[in-house]
Amino acid sequence: MLHTVPRRRAAAASAALALLALLGAPAVAAGPEDPAPWRLSAGGQCQFPAATHPGTPWALQRVMLDQLWSQSTGKGVVVAVIDSGVDAANPQLTASISEIGQDDFAPETKGRIDENGHGTMAAGIIAARPDAKTGFVGLAYDAKILPIRQNGGTDSQKGNVATLAAAIRFAVASGATVINISQETSGPEGTAPGPDLERAIRDAIDKSNVVVVAAAGNSGDKENFDTYPAKYEGVLAVGASDRNNNRTGFSQNKPYVGVLAPGVDIWSTVPKGGHCSQDGTSFAAPYVSAVAALIRSAHPNWSARQVIAVIEQTAQRGQAGSVPGSGWGVVDPLKAVSFAGTPGNAPVETLVRPAVAPPVRVDPLMSGPTRAERDRKTGTVVVAAGFAVVLLLTSGAVVLRDARGRSRA
């Protein structure tokens, strides 16, 4: 079954798939009105509602937001967040929730309910509205979020491959043009979840022109299993990068990773208000989904494959093309949205080198006297000139004296 309860180890290798969630939100202590605590993981704590994050998180500091938003804010784009639901009670998300289909996928659980926090964090990274009380905001804050609660992260609702495929179809039918999947199924090498999930992905991309973004997974430093739907052709698989633009150890080291995005110490919205921080490719993926929404808003006629090609082509990298685990590099939101021209359906290998300091320029060597010789020559000239002046003054005084003597005689 699919879980959003975060773990960094896969289930034991077996013929059956181990269905795991990505590293998600931290453990949650119950609020005063809660009958029991909502457990999300063994590490970290977050209170619902949480404290407001006053400053600007590092993942946003790396982007020139004013320049980015002068070109696109994501307006007119619907991003489906297939996850544990999205709590619209967070004031930064209330206006971001799409009014179309938000509770129709699982009416008994409601898309606007999130007992886990995972989906609310993913949604905030994409489209949290600006708030004067915090420095946190979604990269595509004008986009609309379609919350699809296919995995509640609690014992009352555990998703599986079938419900994930159904959620993808529901997102397409509801008009989403970007789908964010911060969940995964994984298993021993050579195993795959079966045809239903892949067929849903194929229909979304090839028939409906939808950008599908999926987290690559967090078992990179251990089992490093293949993960789905990230591995499927046409899906933009996202790994996690740190503050130095390096792939994190936990991020999947696989050739199908398309790009990296900030995935360490990522702050975002949580149920009932406030913000929490967590690590994982679960939160790198929505960062890229937000960029896809910005591009789709600015270039509505571009195909899904063109949007992905631009994101990969403009990523920050020091190599010519894609490398396993890091893909084409770390996503660059401003450069992606500023892409000029008509993109192809795939990125092109282009060496992007880091900036090189300008060469130090020196005066050319010349033959002639040394500086000491020039100084001695200058000193001689000065002394001679001074002597000449003294001699001239003395001679003048003698001539003037003689002339006065003759006049008195």
Catalytic residues: 83, 118, 282
**32: burial class by Cβ within 10 Å (0-12, 13-18, 19+)?**
exposed
DSSP 237-253: EEEEE-TTSPBPTTS--
- Taking Cα atoms as reference points, which of 154, 128, 131, 133 lies closest to residue 28? 154
Instruction: Report the residue count for the chain.
Output: 409
At residue 79, the 3 state secondary structure works out as: strand
Rounded CA-CA distance 93/237 in Å is: 25
Do the beta carbons of residue 335 and residue 314 sit within 8 Å?
A: yes
Strand partners, 237: 214, 257
Angle at 178 between CA 173 and CA 179, to 5 degrees: 75
Q: Which two tokens stand for residue 387?
A: 């002597």
Q: Hey, what amino acid is at 104?
A: D
Rounded CA-CA distance 88/103 in Å is: 12
Alpha carbon separation from 206 to 172, 180, 203, 212 (Å, rounded): 12, 17, 5, 11
Do the beta carbons of residue 271 and residue 87 sit within 8 Å?
A: yes
At residue 6, the 3 state secondary structure works out as: strand
Do the beta carbons of residue 340 and residue 299 sit within 8 Å?
A: no
Q: Which two tokens stand for residue 379?
A: 């000193």
Residue 319, φ and ψ in degrees, nearest 5: -115, 170
Residue 133, φ and ψ in degrees, nearest 5: -85, -10
Rounded CA-CA distance 236/315 in Å is: 13
Rounded CA-CA distance 380/257 in Å is: 76
DSSP 159: B
